[in-house]
Amino acid sequence: MITLEEIKNFLKEYDGPDINIMEVCGSHTDAISKNGIPSMLSERIHLLSGPGCPVCVTPSSYIDRLIALSMEEGMVIATFGDLIRVPGSSMSLSDAKGQGAKVVMVYSPMDILDMAKKDPDKTYVFAAVGFETTTPVYACLMDEIIKQDIKNIRLLTALKTMPRVIDHLMEEGAPIDGFLAPGHVSVVTGYGVFEPIAEKYKIPFGVSGFSGQELLVALYGIVKNAGCGVVKNYYPSVVTKEGNTKAKSLTDTYFEVSDASWRGMGMVGGSGMELKEEYKKYDMGSKGLYEDHKKNKACRCDQVLMGKIKPNDCPLFGKTCMPENPQGACMVSTEGSCFSYFANGRTM
């Protein structure tokens, strides 16, 4: 059995063909930077950060809609903290709050239940963004709303699914030779969902955990399997081929596959989830929220998310765009590629 030292030596000394490996999980982006993984790799192994940070891929038109709702009489927007700073076309929810908009930050969607019950004259709108990992939580919220017969909660959804957007990246010719499959998403979906894509494009996927050692093992496996359409599970303690069937079943009770708009990438068919027709009365008008305009035309988040450039290739990186003054969504969250590069002084 190969040792960690041998894996490290292999990755550092690798002198085969250049290989581009994309991670599509914001937590991986963060962990790769914090563990100094890029400096442990040969110059021929290139890491790209893909569309794995939920707030980074949320279109500006969605933020605009939240802001418009937050300004309406009797409306309160509830959201996770990161989303509040994401730029819309002219301002963020945080800016709107400064102008009197009703916005509350929550740690869990469940927090909205008590708020809404205590304040029945207001309509509470939850900003439901995220991937396969978060959608089951919104399904639990729906369960409670219906069970408790709460009439003043709605969802504004911008939910995304990972396999379809990975397929889209490959269709669009993104220069990717292998994927570090998202660890958290894979816990729910199971790694089997990536097998058709691996086979279709003859590229390897490695499902990884989040420690430095786990990442190195997965990267080693991806490099070793370059050119092969295989999915290897290097995170077997929590990831199975089938995933969490209970969570998937709960999601399927309330949500169905839809097209979805990704910041900078536009509409990607079948890459989202929305409330089923029979639950549409709980929806706050999520359809028709398309990516259309960016706050700063010089922001190159779209190319960053597609793996076409690295964050530090953007002319605004570290100059006018920094975490305290983000010009694009990729600089907002700790899981955003630009934030991660900036905060960790990463250049590769």
Where do contacts with ligand SF4 occur on this chain (CB under 6 A)?
299-301, 304, 311, 314, 316-317, 321, 326-328, 330-331, 338
Q: Which residues pair with 75 in a beta bridge?
A: 123
- Alpha carbon distance 211, 38 (integer Å): 14
Q: Could you tell me which of 314, 218, 268, 262 has the C-alpha nearest to residue 21?
A: 218
Q: What is the nearest approach in angstroms of ligand SF4 to the Cβ of residue 271?
A: 21
Minimum Å gap between C-beta 326 and ligand SF4 is: 6
CB of 84 to ligand SF4, least distance (A): 16
Among residues 229 and 323, whose Cβ is nearest to ligand SF4? 323
**Nearest C-alpha neighbor of 192 from the set 225, 233, 158, 227:** 233
Identity of the residue, 220 or 342, whose beta carbon is nearer to ligand SF4 in the bound complex: 342
Nearer to ligand SF4, 3 or 325 (CB): 325
CB of 284 to ligand SF4, least distance (A): 27
Q: Which residue is nearest to ligand SF4 (CB)?
A: 328
The burial of 303, by beta-carbon neighbours within 10 Å (0-12 exposed, 13-18 middle, 19 or more buried), is given as middle
Backbone angles phi, psi at 64, to 5 degrees: -60, -40
Smallest distance from ligand SF4 to CB 129, Å: 17
Residue 258 or 327 with smaller CB distance to ligand SF4: 327
Least distance to ligand SF4 from the beta carbon of 5, Å? Answer: 36
| Closest C-alpha among 295, 239, 270, 256 to residue 162 | 270
38 versus 323: smaller Cβ distance to ligand SF4: 323
CB-nearer residue toward ligand SF4: 154 or 294: 294
Which residues 6+ apart lie within 8 Å of 196 measured at CB?
Answer: 163
Angle at 259 between CA 20 and CA 69, to 5 degrees: 110
* Long-range contacts from 284-290, C-beta under 8 angstroms, 24+ separation: 284/69, 284/125, 284/154, 284/155, 284/156, 285/65, 285/156, 286/155, 286/156, 286/157, 286/158, 289/59, 289/61, 289/62, 289/65, 289/158, 289/261, 290/59, 290/61, 290/261, 290/266
Q: Which is nearer to ligand SF4, 58 or 189 (CB)?
A: 58
Rounded to the nearest whole angstrom, what is the least distance from the CB of residue 116 to ligand SF4 in the complex? 34
